[in-house]
Amino acid sequence: MGSPTLVWFRQDLRLADHPALRAACERGAVIPVFIWSPEEDGEWLLGGASKWWLHQSLKSLTQELERLESKLVIRRGNALDQLRALVHETKATALFWNRRYEPTILERDKKIEEHFGCDDFAIETFNSHLLLEPWAIQNKSGKPFQVFTPYWKTCLAAIEAAGPGKPIVAPKKIEAPIKWPKSLGLDELELQPKIDWVKGIRENWQPGEQGAQGNLKRFLSETVFNYAETRNRPDVVGTSRLSPHLHFGEISPRQILHAVKMAAEKKFISPAVWRQWQFLTELGWREFAHHLLFHFPHTANEPLRPEFKKFPWHDNPEGLKAWQLGRTGYPIVDAGMRELWHTGWMHNRVRMIVASFLVKDLLLPWHTGAKWFWDTLVDADLANNTLGWQWTAGCGADAAPFFRIFNPVTQGEKFDPKGDYVRRWVPEIARLPDKWLHQPWNAPREILSASRIDLGKTYPEPIVQHSIARDVALEAFQKIKSQETM
C-alpha cells in the first residue's frame, strides 16, 4: 500500500462528480478531510442558516463515506497549519482539492499550493463548482464580460464545442489508509444554533447529496418543461430549489446539465431547443456571478459602477428593522421576508421585490441587504448574493437601471394573483378579498372590519408611500448622474 492522498473537501460535499476524489482514488489510499476555518473567509463569516446547513451536509457526507468504509477527518483552525499537520501525521504524499473562487479563498489557496509545491509532493486542484472556469471566457477584446447575454452565448458555444461530458460516477469503495489521523467530532465545530430557531428550515429542507438528487428528480419530473411559465410565481412550486445544494456542492452544475439533457432527450426535444431553456439560463447567471467576482473582487463590498459610491443612502434603523421582520405594511414584501426567516430561502422573484423595496423605497444601501441575506439564507453565496443586490441597486454589471423601481402592489398582483403566497406568510390579512390583499390600506373600512384587520395594530400601515418614495429615489439618482457629468 502506497502513501495516502489527502482530499480536502470544501464546497463539494458529495461523492459523485468529484474530480479530486476520483483522482485520489486512482492513486490508492485516500484520507478525506474537512477543515473548519471560518476566519479565512474574511469578513464574510458563514451566517447562521448556512452553518446549520453545513452541519447537516457534513453529517450526510460522513455517513456516505462510512458506507464505503472510509471516514471524514474533521479539523478546526488555520487551513495551512492543519494540512501541514495532517501531512506529517499520515505521511501523505499528495493533496487534492476542488477549486473555490472567492477572493480571500483564492489568495489562501495560492499560499497553500506554494507551500506544498515540490518534486516529492503532488498537489492538484480541479474544477467541480462551475461549468467553466471564471477566467476561461473572455470577450473579443480579451477582457471579462460585464453584460450577461453575450457572456452566456459565449459559454454555450464553448460548452457545445467541448461537449458537456458525463458526470463522474461515485466510487464504489474508497481505499483506507493503514492508520487514520485524529479527528474532531462534528458537534465540536459548534455549527448548530444553541437556541433551536431552525425548525422551519429543518421542515423544508433535506441537506446532503441525497436531498439534492431528490430535488433534481422532482424538478425534472414536475417542473422543468414549463419552468419559463412558473419560475416567477412564488405561489406555486415552480423552481428547482437546488441553489443551496449547488452552493455547498452537494450536486454539481455538470450533473444538472447532464440530467436536463437526458430528460429532454426522453421527450425527443432537440439540443438546439433545450440549450435555450430558461432554467439553463439561470445556471448561466450563476456562472456569470462567479465570472464577475473573480475579475472584480472588490464588488463584494463596493459597487462595480464607481459613481454609486457617492449615492446618498439614508440611515433608517427603524425602516431596516421593519423590512427584516416583514412588517413594512406591503404584503408581498412582508411575505418574502417571513418566508426567508422561516425557511432560510426566498423565491427569486420575491428577492428582487424585497431588494428593490429596501434600496429604492427605503433608500438603504444595497450591502445592508446583502449582509442580511448572507446571515439568513441557506444558499448564501458570495458571488450570487453580490450580483443580485448590485443588479437590483443598478450599480453592478448588466444591472437593472436604477429607475426600474418595482411597485410592490402591482408585483404582488401579477405574480401572486390569487394571494396564496401572501396568505400563507401573512395570515393576519388572509381574510381580505383578492382585490385588496396586496393593498390593504386602500380597502374600505367595512371590508377591513369584516376581515378582522385593524391597520396599525393587527397589521402595520405602510412604512412609506411608494409613489413618494419612488420620486425621492429618482431625485437621489439624478444627483449622482449630475455629479458624473460635472
Instruction: Examine the residue annotation and report whether 97 is marked as an active-site residue of this protein.
Output: no
Q: Which of 8, 366, 391, 436 is catalytic?
A: 366
Q: Which of 89, 124, 133, 282 is catalytic?
A: 282
Q: Which of 44, 389, 425, 436 is catalytic?
A: 389
Instruction: Examine the residue annotation and report whether 442 is marked as an active-site residue of this protein.
Output: no
Instruction: Examine the residue annotation and report whether 282 is marked as an active-site residue of this protein.
Output: yes
Q: Which of 348, 413, 428, 441 is catalytic?
A: 348
Instruction: Examine the residue annotation and report whether 425 is marked as an active-site residue of this protein.
Output: no
Instruction: Examine the residue annotation and report whether 366 is marked as an active-site residue of this protein.
Output: yes
Helix/strand/coil (H, E, C) string of the chain?
CCCCEEEEECCCCCCCCCHHHHHHHHHCCEEEEEEECHHHHCCCCCCHHHHHHHHHHHHHHHHHHHHCCCCCEEEECCHHHHHHHHHHHHCCCEEEEECCCCHHHHHHHHHHHHHHCECCEEEEEECCCCCCCCCCCCCCCCCCCCCHHHHHHHHHHHHHHHCCCCCCCCCCCCCCCCCCCCCCCHHHHCCCCCCCCCHHHHHHCCCCHHHHHHHHHHHHHHCHHHHHHHCCCCCCCCCCCCHHHHHCCCCCHHHHHHHHHHHHHHCCCCHHHHCCCHHHHHHHHHHHHHHHHHHCHHHHCCCCCHHHHHCCCCCCHHHHHHHHHCCCCCHHHHHHHHHHHHHCCCCHHHHHHHHHHHHHHCCCCHHHHHHHHHHHCCCCCHHHHHHHHHHHHCCCCCCCCCCCCCCHHHHHHHHCCCCHHHHHHCHHHCCCCHHHHCCHHHCCHHHHHHCCCCECCCECCCCCCHHHHHHHHHHHHHHHHHHHHC
Q: Which of 78, 113, 124, 285 is catalytic?
A: 285
Instruction: Examine the residue annotation and report whether 285 is marked as an active-site residue of this protein.
Output: yes
Q: Which of 124, 313, 413, 441 is catalytic?
A: 313
Return the active site residues: 282, 285, 313, 348, 366, 389
